[in-house]
Chains A and B, each alone.
Chain A
Amino acid sequence: MSWETVIGLETHVQLSTKTKLFSRASTAFGASPNTNVNLIDCGLPGVLPSVNKEAFYKAIRFGMAVGAQINQTSIFDRKNYFYADLPKGYQITQMDLPIVIGGSIEIIIDELTKTINITRAHLEEDAGKSIHDEFEGFSAIDLNRAGTPLLEIVSEPEISNAKEAVAYMKAMHQLVTFLDVSDGNMAQGSLRCDANVSIRKKGDKELGTRTEIKNINSFKFIEKAINFEIKRQIKILENGEKVVQETRLYDSSKDETRPMRSKEFANDYRYFPEPDLLPVIISDEEIQKIRDEFPELPKEKEIRYQQEYGLTAYDAQIIASSKSMADFFETALQKTKNYTLLSNWLIGEISAYLNKQQIEINESKLSADKVAMLINRIDDQTISGKIGKSIFEEMCTNGSSPDEIIKSKGLEQISDDGAIEEIILTVINENPTQVEAYLAGKDKLFGFFVGQVMKLTEGKANPKAVNSILKDKLK
């Protein structure tokens, strides 16, 4: 029997606002427990929420980018359930009238483009965090995260496999970071998703029973969790059994999904319109302002990089595809004019290093200013490209500036013709046999002489000067 997988993703994007959705407490990550918490966040009796419009502007920017309909009148609802890290006993969310309706995202799979439609995206507040393993016999609550604004983006069930799901999440990551809607930091939970997975017989119109895998927070886990779940469900169906509709959790240490406690889905959330908040109305002027200040997206950057800086289509595409890389490039080129060399380095040496370390450029010790300085030193022939690479290695480990490294290690290139000539003459004098062979027509030996010069200068001789003077002396 041939099976078909149907996947829909609910993506939770933590919006990068300075303060929370309904209070003016900070959203900064990593603060000591319960320090980014005010009266509203801990749900004291008598407190009331008030809306942070910045979160709306970010949600609207996302909506515009995916070509969605924007609801300029937004209504909040209460989702009622009890949990220790949910201070009010309800979450303020949007049920009937989400801020964003429709739209789509394009993903590329094996060079083919596929469009995934978006059902809706709504604003809601995050809950706090329960900590069960830190205090013997007690659970602890950290409310720092409580009230942080989330945009929940619901896709249509149009994703066919784990690979597409990963591509969708990568596209989502690229979009929200370029839009400056979120920092997209998956390890800190700024971007995570729930995957609804179901299996049906190929050709069937009706959807199979779905399970929901909760809170997956890395591209790798999305792929593994979905693939596990697909296999699990197919096995059940092939045994002639039925898939149980349930919420499941992906355990990365065992690479498996397993059911969450059953009372989770027995909840009746008793949604009703939040009476503490009036409908939020976004004016036409506000919409226009968001449109006017719309950030540049990867495709636009790609074209501009080619036109303004003469990058190749390939280089432009690679640099423009990551927000942190594009930002780095744009900052660096304020300080250097050799755009081609800069892009070569970004795509070559720098990317190789980042891939090896599995980090983004903004997580590394590299600064755009210092990389620009390195490019300039190569460009003005203070150092050779080869020396540049060794300086780069040092920059990566301790973040020091290229000029400092050059100075402290005496790496400055020897470009003085007289000095080079002297060294060349020494090499010629010391290697009479090779000179004879070269002059007899063994052209390949030219490299040998260059190598000898570099050896004597510890690689610091200007290669161009070495070439031309050598040629002259070996006539």
Chain B
Amino acid sequence: MSIQFKSIADLREMLDDKSISASELIQESLELAKKYKELNCFVTMNEEFSVKKANAIDVNKKTSSRLSGIPLAQKDLFCTEGLRTTCSSKILSNFIPPYTATAVKKLEDAGSITIGKTNMDEFAMGSSNETSFFGNVHNPWKKGYVPGGSSGGSAAAVAAGIVPAATGTDTGGSIRQPAAHCGITGLKPTYGRISRWGMIAFASSLDQAGPLARTAEDCAILLNTMSGHDAKDTTSLNSNVPDFLENINQPIDGLKIGLIKEFNLSDLDSQVQARFEESKKAYEKLGAQFIEVSLPNISASVPTYYSIAPAECSSNLSRFDGVRFGHRAESTDDLNDLYIKSRSEGFGDEVKRRILIGTYALSAGYYDAYYKKAQQVRRLIKNDFDNAFQSVDALMTPTSPNTAFKFGSKGTQNPVELYLEDLFTISSNLAGLPAISIPHGQVNSLPVGLQLIGNFLREDQLLNAAHIFQKNSDYHLAKPNLGDF
């Protein structure tokens, strides 16, 4: 029986009833990765180590953990000891970290096996995976179409059934939007739920790791392992981590879902809109109630985000200077020349653009007008959410205004066009709230995602609502036709 498209829960059963060994499972996963090499999901494979670890698990036979022997893929911005970590950038194309990110370490300690590092937008800056130094990732649903971004490689690897789940990071929608475009489930937890230690920073106050998987249940399994306070990340939350599987099956009778008045869905593609209306009805049938809520400042989310995120990135990326690690330009005249050449050669256009925007936003005389103002607006947006959650349990929006688009069709002339892709996802990063994207059908044979935004630390509610939806529908079971690859 093929392991392709199997969930973690399925694979666990196969491993437990010995219909497959960990070694066979890993071997097959690695072979699928090779078979679909053209998708370009992976930047670096971890074959030798994966096979060794699987063998060890087979010999040891102690499989107390749900994740033992399960193949996973890690977004290539999680540092992995001894395994190249590039952020899909030329500047880190030779970087082999001496340590492993907490989130990945927890998954690996639980027995899961990292088969490789996935392609992404360079330094997670992008919504189409087209800014990668290692080339575009194809959407498994349609060759020549983007998988979304920035966690595009992770989403495509899961959607193609190579691995049952993968890690991603979400700064403005980078887990949810590619999950939506690839027809899988992706969760961005509450800011601070998962340690950022070892996660190469894009925008520190917005970055959050999370799982991409075939089902909400699998997301819960990963979240259980990845969550928790980490002394090495003082911004990680010191709060109790519930078992996210425990209440995932609860009926959602009486769940109050808010619809955001300010998001005028009639502007959207009529078919995307139709999908949304249908899912709303499905939730109503499951016992949810819909209430319109107003978040008056939410329309400022995109400009607010594009002041804060580039500002933080301009500073976070200063350490890539060619002095201690990463790409260093050859034959330079002096220190300044070394900086200029190493960084000019090492960074791609989008990264440079954001460093420039951020440097400008923080510069003397502009700080108050841009960065400080943006932080004030961010606070207002957060307050809007707090008010809304007085009367609702969750908010529902489309994940993305559109389905996946063709390579090169967006943002090449006007980057702002691509920034608007993040319209529905960005606000939950600004407010630090959890949000999930689940597949809910297709438009023109391309998947469409539905987003639920939850209250602070209420991933349990989101996973519950998503799981009940998936129990009563089969959108999440749809598989792409990979015949073209």
Contact = CB atoms under 8 A, between A and B. Distances in A.
Interface of A: 39, 42-51, 78, 80, 82-84, 87-90, 139, 141, 268, 270-272, 275-278
B367 interface: yes
Interface of B: 77-79, 85, 87, 92, 95, 97-99, 101, 196-201, 203-205, 231-235, 311-312, 314-315, 317-321, 323-325, 335, 339, 359, 362-364, 367, 371
B323 A84 contact: yes
Contacts of A270: 314-315, 359, 362-364, 367
A43 B367 contact: no
A51 B324 CA distance: 24
A201 B312 CA distance: 46
B197 A90 contact: no
- The 10 lowest CB-CB distance pairs between A and B, nearest first, are A89-B318, A270-B362, A275-B204, A275-B205, A46-B198, A45-B200, A46-B79, A43-B319, A46-B200, A268-B364
A341 B198 CA distance: 62
Contacts of B199: 46
B231 A50 contact: yes
Nearest to B197: A48
Contacts of B363: 268, 270
A48 B325 CA distance: 17
A48 B233 contact: yes
27 contacts: A39-B98, A39-B99, A44-B79, A44-B324, A45-B85, A45-B95, A45-B320, A46-B78, A46-B79, A46-B199, A48-B234, A50-B232, A51-B234, A78-B315, A84-B321, A84-B335, A87-B323, A88-B318, A88-B319, A141-B323, A270-B315, A270-B359, A272-B315, A272-B362, A275-B205, A275-B312, A277-B235
Given A39-B99, A87-B319, A270-B315, A46 B197 contact: yes
Contact of A48 (B196, B317, B320): B196
A45 B367 CA distance: 26
Contacts of B196: 46, 48
Contact of B321 (A48, A49, A82): A82
A250 to B, nearest CB: 24
B315 A45 contact: no
A89 B319 contact: yes
Contacts of A78: 315
A90 B98 CA distance: 22
A90 B204 contact: no
Contacts of A84: 321, 323, 335
A88 B315 CA distance: 8
B231 to A, nearest CB: 7
B226 to A, nearest CB: 15
B234 A42 contact: no
A39 B98 CA distance: 8
A80 B101 contact: no
A369 to B, nearest CB: 42
A278 B92 CA distance: 28
Contacts of B233: 48, 50
A46 B97 contact: yes
Contacts of A272: 311-312, 315, 362, 367, 371
Contacts of A51: 234
A276 B235 contact: yes
A80 B339 contact: no
A78 B313 CA distance: 12
A456 B331 CA distance: 82
Contacts of A90: 315, 318
Contacts of B311: 272
Nearest to B234: A50
Contacts of A48: 196-197, 232-235
Nearest to B371: A272
B197 A80 contact: no
A22 B142 CA distance: 48
A80 B362 contact: yes
* A48, A268, A276: most-surrounded residue (chain B CB, <10 A): A48
B204 A82 contact: no
Nearest to B79: A46
A278 B234 contact: yes
A275 B199 CA distance: 14
A293 to B, nearest CB: 25
A226 to B, nearest CB: 29
A43 B78 CA distance: 15
Contacts of B97: 44-46
A48 B233 CA distance: 6
A47 to B, nearest CB: 7
Chain B CB within 10 Å, residue with most, of A43, A46, A272: A46
Contacts of A82: 318, 321, 339
A368 B68 CA distance: 63
Nearest to B99: A39
Contacts of A45: 79, 85, 87, 92, 95, 97, 200-201, 319-320, 325
B31 to A, nearest CB: 31
A277 B324 contact: no
Contacts of A88: 318-319
Contacts of A275: 203-205, 235, 312
A50 B229 CA distance: 13
A275 B206 CA distance: 9
A369 B221 CA distance: 65
A200 to B, nearest CB: 27
B76 to A, nearest CB: 11
A247 B85 CA distance: 41
A38 to B, nearest CB: 10
Given A46-B200, A80-B315, A89 B321 contact: yes
Contacts of B205: 275
Given A46-B200, A268-B364, A272-B311, A278 B235 contact: yes
Given A48-B232, A48-B234, A89-B315, 8 more contacts: A39-B99, A50-B232, A80-B315, A87-B323, A270-B363, A271-B362, A272-B362, A276-B204
A277 B362 contact: no
Contacts of A271: 362, 367
A123 B319 CA distance: 22
Contacts of A46: 77-79, 97, 101, 196-201
A278 B233 CA distance: 10
Given A89-B315, A90-B315, A270-B359, A47 B234 contact: no
A49 to B, nearest CB: 8
Given A88-B318, A88-B319, A270-B362, A47 B85 contact: no
Interface centre among B232, B319, B325 (most CB of A within 10 A): B319
Given A87-B319, A272-B315, A275-B312, A42 B324 contact: yes
Contact of A43 (B87, B235, B324): B324
A282 to B, nearest CB: 15
A139 B200 CA distance: 28
Nearest to B312: A275
A83 B319 CA distance: 10
B21 to A, nearest CB: 34
A87 B92 contact: no
Contacts of B323: 84, 87, 141
A357 B146 CA distance: 76
A45 B363 CA distance: 24
A43 B320 CA distance: 9
A467 to B, nearest CB: 73
Contacts of A39: 98-99
A176 to B, nearest CB: 28
Given A45-B79, A45-B319, A87 B362 contact: no
Nearest to B204: A275
Contacts of B320: 45
A78 B359 CA distance: 13
A278 B364 CA distance: 24
A303 B357 CA distance: 62
Contacts of B198: 46-47
A221 B235 CA distance: 44
A463 B269 CA distance: 113
Nearest to B236: A48
Contacts of B79: 44-46
